[in-house]
Amino acid sequence: MKVIELHKKQMEWWKNKLGIDDYAVAWIAFIKGLLIGSLITYYINK
């Protein structure tokens, strides 16, 4: 199984388990990126 196929399968499994759609996944990824970026910026500028 190729990595992309594995990732798609895992994403579908998590979406079904959590009961969310693609739009919610995009928002979760966006918020996660903001949080991680903020933490990195905070610790670099500390």
HEC assignment per residue over the chain:
CCHHHHHHHHHHHHHHHHCCCHHHHHHHHHHHHHHHHHHHHHHHHC
Provide the pLDDT for residue 32. 98
pLDDT tens sequence across 1-46? 799 999 999 999 999 999 999 999 999 999 999 999 999 999 999 8
Provide the pLDDT for residue 26. 97
Give the predicted TM-score (pTM) of the model: 0.75
Provide the pLDDT for residue 1. 74
Q: How far is CA 22 from CA 8, 14, 16, 19, 33, in A?
A: 12, 11, 11, 10, 17
